[in-house]
Amino acid sequence: MPDETAKARRGLHLGEIGGLLAYVRPWRGRFALALAALTVSMIFGLMFPLLVGHLVDAAVPSVAPPPDGWKPDINTVALLLVGTLAIQAVLTFFYSYAFNFVGENAVARLRRRLYETLIGLPMKFFGEHRVGELTSRLSSDLALVCDTLTGTIPQALRQTVMLLGGVIAIMATSPRLSLVMVSTFPVLLLVAVFVGRKVRRVSRAAQDRLAESATIVEETLQGIANVKAFANETYEARRYGAGVEAYLETILSSARRRAGLVAFIILGIFGSIILVLWYGARLMQAGQLTHGQLTRFTLYTLFVGGAVSSFAEVFSQLQRTLGANERVLELLAEKPEPLATTSAEAAPAQRLRGAVDFADVSFRYPSRPDLPVLRGFSLRAAPGEKIALIGPSGAGKSTVVALLLRFYEPDTGALLLDGKNARDLPLDVVRGNMAIVPQEVMLFGGSIRENIAYGRPGASEADIRAAAERAHCHEFIARFPEGYDTLVGERGVKLSGGQRQRLAIARALLRDPAVLILDEATSSLDSESEALIQAALATLLAGRTALIIAHRLATVRQCDRICVLENGVITETGTHAELMAAPSGTYRRLAELQFAPG
């Protein structure tokens, strides 16, 4: 991490607090009104000790009149006290609700912005970050920011007004006593700043430990079938327990520092009050201070002491929040993919004919720069041509798909679409003209209708049903009591593998792409379902370019061309008949193994 960043994180800077307040800019008018109401409310609150002092002076006979020359009767002072409390209560309700309104709206807007940023980041980013870490940023980190905007910052403003007003009031009441009390403040503030810096560093580390624990939960629950199949519940429990212990140790370290800071502040504040009371009693004994003045001064001292002591907690909370906000800002600073503003519900801005040309492409994944995946890979598909890509695992077939969808860019060479470099086409045009049915189908936890319509949000009921019929899903959907409203469960767990696969095909067909990618699309289908899909694809893929990746060669025999990919290069190409006619070759060997009797 750069030294400049490290230096910037050592203390609490006004610019960082201003960064938090920038979130409320769209509601600055309401925020300003809330701030004004808070200030007026605190002014009325500061009148309380003044009136109580007059109440004491009115009750105690005094030869000399009060210094301000005003000596009301007891009933008048009591009515004024009730009036100030009533006004303060109304103002408190207004500014409390206003601060919460602004804070919650600001964080909701920030959540949307962060989520939009996350889903707009390139695949390279998701290859380097774990899902649990990212969800922790959206949940726990933003929860801290929310608490600060709705509670901590208003509290800091309130206590600031109380502190400044209280100091002015006590200096007006007795300058000599004020010097005694105020002289203790610098030491308290220096300790608060010193300990607060340590709290911030520890709190940042605690957020890291919490994110790691959340990652373990995310991974375990997503792969719960594997956990149970391998009877690894105890192992996962220990792994999560270790993460929780690391978080607990870090957060308790932060709690010890915060507790020590609060204890020191309380000791310093009440020690100052005892000193002030002792000195004030001597002044009153000497006739230099009235009963009311001492009472007023003592109450103002309590106000000021309470404000100073609360600053320790406010400061600590701000340090924790700024640590979390740094994480949020780091994500927001990530460079998103250059997507256009075309709505996902609209047709792509430009319809492609479907010509695909990989021209001498070489590629290595950013996370594995020492391992070349494609080496001078070249493949040309004419519009409407069906090309099968086969080969052993790790040959680079899925990488070809990732490059075609522009999840990554080639290191060397070029991907051409309709004769144009794909880099020169907007991403929404490239992906809007493509659809993929992956080997591992990902369904969302909504209804069957919503999952099919994901291929084209806003599609009509008739279009959804037509796509389902073409993918031969309508038959099993109609057997469900809720039909298309049937909930598929998280990740589609309520459906069989074959049903999920056919829903994914229906989703791709609804999109009506120029280029269709089938990545082991029939691998989970039974023989009957596979025959139905193959019959439908012969008609549905007419006039549409298709790239079909398969290990089961029966699914690619009717393709216009079959390409064998090995070690990142194409070693064989031709139709099924041509490749089988060759005296030797990988395709013929695989075909003989798969098609041999028994």
Of 382, 378, 400, 383, nearest in space to 391 by CA = 400
Per-residue confidence (pLDDT) for residue 344, from 0 to 100: 44
Identify whether residues 374 and 421 lie together within a single domain.
yes
Identify whether residues 217 and 119 lie together within a single domain.
yes
pLDDT at 92 over 80: yes
CATH number of the domain residue 299 falls in: 1.20.1560.10
Range scoring the smallest mean pLDDT among 4-13, 43-52, 159-168: 4-13
Report the 10 Å Cβ neighbour count for 319: 24
pLDDT at 129 over 80: no
Identify whether residues 213 and 137 lie together within a single domain.
yes
Per the prediction, the chain carries an average pLDDT of 78
pLDDT at 530 over 50: yes
Side-chain-side CA neighbours of residue 541 (13 Å): 25
Give the residue-averaged pLDDT of 411-422: 93
Range scoring the smallest mean pLDDT among 79-88, 238-247, 370-379, 527-536: 527-536
**491 vs 405, residue with greater confidence:** 405
Per-residue confidence (pLDDT) for residue 378, from 0 to 100: 93
Inter-axis angle of helices 74-119 and 153-173, to 10 degrees?
Answer: 150
Per-residue confidence (pLDDT) for residue 339, from 0 to 100: 63
**277 vs 92, residue with greater confidence:** 92
Identify whether residues 84 and 212 lie together within a single domain.
yes
Give the residue-averaged pLDDT of 285-306: 75
Confirm whether 341 is domain-assigned. no
Q: Is residue 533 very low, low, confident or very high in pLDDT (cuts 50, 70, 90)? A: low
pLDDT at 176 over 70: yes
Confirm whether 351 is domain-assigned. no
**Rounded alpha-carbon distances, angstroms, from residue 240 to 128, 203, 278:** 21, 20, 56
Identify whether residues 302 and 397 lie together within a single domain.
no
Q: Is residue 208 very low, low, confident or very high in pLDDT (cuts 50, 70, 90)? A: confident
353-404 pLDDT per residue, tens? 889 999 999 999 888 888 899 999 999 999 989 899 988 888 888 899 999 9
Per-residue confidence (pLDDT) for residue 341, from 0 to 100: 45
Q: Is residue 562 very low, low, confident or very high in pLDDT (cuts 50, 70, 90)? A: very high
Per-residue confidence (pLDDT) for residue 248, from 0 to 100: 82
Task: Tally the domains of the chain.
Answer: 2
Per-residue confidence (pLDDT) for residue 349, from 0 to 100: 59
Rg (CA), the chain: 35
Q: Are 392 and 563 in contact (CB under 8 A)?
A: no
Q: Is residue 491 very low, low, confident or very high in pLDDT (cuts 50, 70, 90)? A: low
Measured CA to CA, the distance from residue 92 to residue 414 in angstroms comes to 64
Instruction: Give the amino acid at 164.
Output: L
Identify whether residues 390 and 474 lie together within a single domain.
yes
Confirm whether 378 is domain-assigned. yes
Confirm whether 344 is domain-assigned. no
Identify whether residues 320 and 367 lie together within a single domain.
no
Per-residue confidence (pLDDT) for residue 364, from 0 to 100: 92
Secondary element (H or E) of residue 187: helix 185-222
Per-residue confidence (pLDDT) for residue 382, from 0 to 100: 92
Confirm whether 201 is domain-assigned. yes
Measured CA to CA, the distance from residue 51 to residue 572 in angstroms comes to 96
Give the residue-averaged pLDDT of 139-160: 79
Per-residue confidence (pLDDT) for residue 4, from 0 to 100: 36
pLDDT at 421 over 90: yes
Range scoring the smallest mean pLDDT among 83-97, 286-300, 483-497: 286-300
Identify whether residues 319 and 379 lie together within a single domain.
no
CA 497 from centroid of its chain's CA atoms: 31
Identify whether residues 228 and 374 lie together within a single domain.
no
In the β-sheet with 569-574, what is the strand arrangement from edge to edge? 434-437, 515-519, 545-549, 386-390, 561-566, 569-574
Confirm whether 348 is domain-assigned. no
Identify whether residues 371 and 259 lie together within a single domain.
no
Choosing from 332, 348, 381, the residue where a domain stops is 332
438-454 pLDDT per residue, tens? 877 778 878 889 888 88
Range scoring the smallest mean pLDDT among 257-266, 364-373, 411-420: 257-266
Identify whether residues 453 and 585 lie together within a single domain.
yes
β-pair partners for 202: none
Q: Are 212 and 243 in contact (CB under 8 A)?
A: yes
Identify whether residues 319 and 402 lie together within a single domain.
no
**42 vs 309, residue with greater confidence:** 42
CA 402 from centroid of its chain's CA atoms: 25
Per-residue confidence (pLDDT) for residue 200, from 0 to 100: 61
30-50 pLDDT per residue, tens? 888 988 898 888 888 888 777
**105 vs 313, residue with greater confidence:** 105
Of 332, 323, 333, nearest in space to 140 by CA = 323
CATH number of the domain residue 447 falls in: 3.40.50.300
**Which residue segment(s) compose the domain that 489 sits in?**
356-595
Range scoring the smallest mean pLDDT among 39-43, 168-172, 308-312, 408-412: 308-312
Per-residue confidence (pLDDT) for residue 404, from 0 to 100: 93
**Rounded alpha-carbon distances, angstroms, from residue 280 to 68, 267, 295:** 19, 20, 10
Choosing from 278, 297, 332, the residue where a domain stops is 332
pLDDT at 175 over 80: no
Range scoring the smallest mean pLDDT among 52-61, 95-104, 564-573: 52-61
Which of 126-140, 195-209, 224-238, 378-392 is predicted most confidently?
A: 378-392
Measured CA to CA, the distance from residue 351 to residue 371 in angstroms comes to 36
Confirm whether 232 is domain-assigned. yes
**564 vs 280, residue with greater confidence:** 564
Per-residue confidence (pLDDT) for residue 515, from 0 to 100: 92
Exposure of 439 by Cβ count < 10 A (0-12 exposed, 13-18 middle, 19+ buried)? middle
Q: Is residue 327 very low, low, confident or very high in pLDDT (cuts 50, 70, 90)? A: confident
Q: Is residue 18 very low, low, confident or very high in pLDDT (cuts 50, 70, 90)? A: low
Confirm whether 50 is domain-assigned. yes
Q: Is residue 309 very low, low, confident or very high in pLDDT (cuts 50, 70, 90)? A: low
